[in-house]
Amino acid sequence: MNPGKLEINILLCQAIDHRQFGRFPQAEICLNELLGLEPTYVPGLNERARLCMARGESEEAIRYLELALAEAPTDPYAINRLGALYRHLGETDQAIAYFKSGLEVNPTNTHILSELALTLHLCGNDAEAAHYFTAAEQNRNVGNITGLIEHLQAAVTPGVVIAGLAHEVNNLLEEIHLSLELIRAQLGAPEPEIARALANAGDIGDCALRIHHLLGHFNKRARRKKVSKDRVPVRQMIDFAFDLLAKRLKEAGIRKELRIERPEPPSLLCYQLEMEQLFLNLVANAADALIEAETEDPVIRARVRTVPEPPGLTIQIEDNGPGMPKAVVKRVFDFSFSTKANGRGVGLWLCQFAAETAGGHLSLDSELGKGTTFSLYLPMTEGER
């Protein structure tokens, strides 16, 4: 790889990292430098569009996606996101045209098929929507079957794969964390700019350390080793999710409300890492919906209340976003199902898995135009009540 290309790829990785952790100004600086070096670099144009969408700047996002399509007319990400943005702006005819043009060059793309079906459903054309939903499902199943066959041919168990992956990535993360600690020590007494750099380095280090702990946790689970549960206050786990996403929520103007319907928040016996990731996924999904729909006065509410029979807690994560159609609600916890252009369809499936592992369950109540509420029920032991 030539030095110029290497610099561009490093800038792109830095921009993605900044955006994902809510550091939008730093992401913009990286992307400005990247596109100054290579104005027609399609991954850079797409990432700039992602940043605009995260900020709620739909018109700007459309401009960069159209620039990406001018360079790569068959780019599926640009086609899919353009269609989704036009749909949210109410220009459904334009959205449908983009999705159908994408299917002309890639007729089996499940994301485009799903987005087109959703758009047709919102337009009241359920007959045609059903056709595309069915096609998306068929192609998704074919992909799953192909992957399963390849997996069986490899003759390795999921536990071996997960354990091996956890081991290798864990080693890398240890090095990342060590490097960041060295940077902190070497920078010395902080000036204003250096202080901000130190804070960002600290954020990266904290995230790297958390991934290190998560991989260790799932490595033990994959090897069927005993993993101890922790007694953790519910409020602490909810606060963790909001705190980790605080920069992103502030940038998007999203308010947070927390209501606990009892004097003292209870502590629960659970796998803390899994439960924290569950709340993190639910809050992040709510933020995604609010930002993409450009909801006025966006808010995410967390409510905690006790229920008598069976004795336990119900924790609700609610947003006042666009809501979901019934066809999506029915499948939202299915493995590999996603309505996002770059979604993997794993997050909510993992949330349900974590809920069931804790002896509870996760449910969803959503309606178009009326927001979305995820309700988590967790049982309480005698000592927790």
Look at the pTM and tell me if it is higher than 0.85.
Answer: no
More confident residue, 86 or 310: 86
Residue at 150 is within a domain:
no
Q: Which pLDDT value is given to residue 225?
A: 72
Structure token pair of residue 199: 């804070």
Per cent of the chain over pLDDT 90 is 19
For 16-55, how does the pLDDT look when each residue is reduced to its tens digit (9 = 90+)? 888 877 788 888 998 999 999 999 999 899 899 988 888 8
The span from the CA of 27 to the CA of 164, in Å, is 33
- The 3-state DSSP class for residue 232 equals strand
Q: Which range scores top for mean pLDDT: 1-10, 124-133, 143-152, 169-178?
A: 124-133
> Can the peptide bond before residue 379 be classed as cis, meaning omega within 30 degrees of 0?
no
Do 57 and 76 reside in the same domain of the chain? yes
If you write DSSP's letter for every residue of 75-129 in order, what string do you get? -HHHHHHHHHHHHHTT-HHHHHHHHHHHHHH-TT-HHHHHHHHHHHHHTT-HHHH
Question: Where does a domain end: 83, 110, 143?
Answer: 143
Do 40 and 130 reside in the same domain of the chain? yes
pLDDT band for position 374 (cuts 50, 70, 90): very high
Q: Which pLDDT value is given to residue 215?
A: 74
Do 261 and 312 reside in the same domain of the chain? yes
pLDDT band for position 82 (cuts 50, 70, 90): confident
Do 133 and 168 reside in the same domain of the chain? no
Do 27 and 109 reside in the same domain of the chain? yes
Q: Please, is 117 exposed, middle or buried when counting C-beta atoms within 10 Å of its C-beta (0-12, 13-18, 19+)?
A: buried
CATH of the domain at 337: 3.30.565.10
- Average pLDDT, whole number, for the chain? 78
Residue at 41 is within a domain:
yes
Question: Where does a domain end: 183, 203, 222?
Answer: 222
Total structural domains within the chain: 3
Per cent of the chain over pLDDT 70 is 76
Do 214 and 241 reside in the same domain of the chain? no
Do 213 and 279 reside in the same domain of the chain? no
What is the domain range of residue 304?
A: 230-384
Do 237 and 262 reside in the same domain of the chain? yes
Do 333 and 302 reside in the same domain of the chain? yes
Q: Which range scores top for mean pLDDT: 190-199, 244-253, 366-375?
A: 366-375
Q: With beta carbons less than 8 A apart as the criterion, state whether 15 and 50 touch.
A: no
Residue at 151 is within a domain:
no
Q: Which pLDDT value is given to residue 323?
A: 93
CATH of the domain at 122: 1.25.40.10
For 260-277, how does the pLDDT look when each residue is reduced to its tens digit (9 = 90+)? 876 666 688 888 888 998
Do 354 and 296 reside in the same domain of the chain? yes
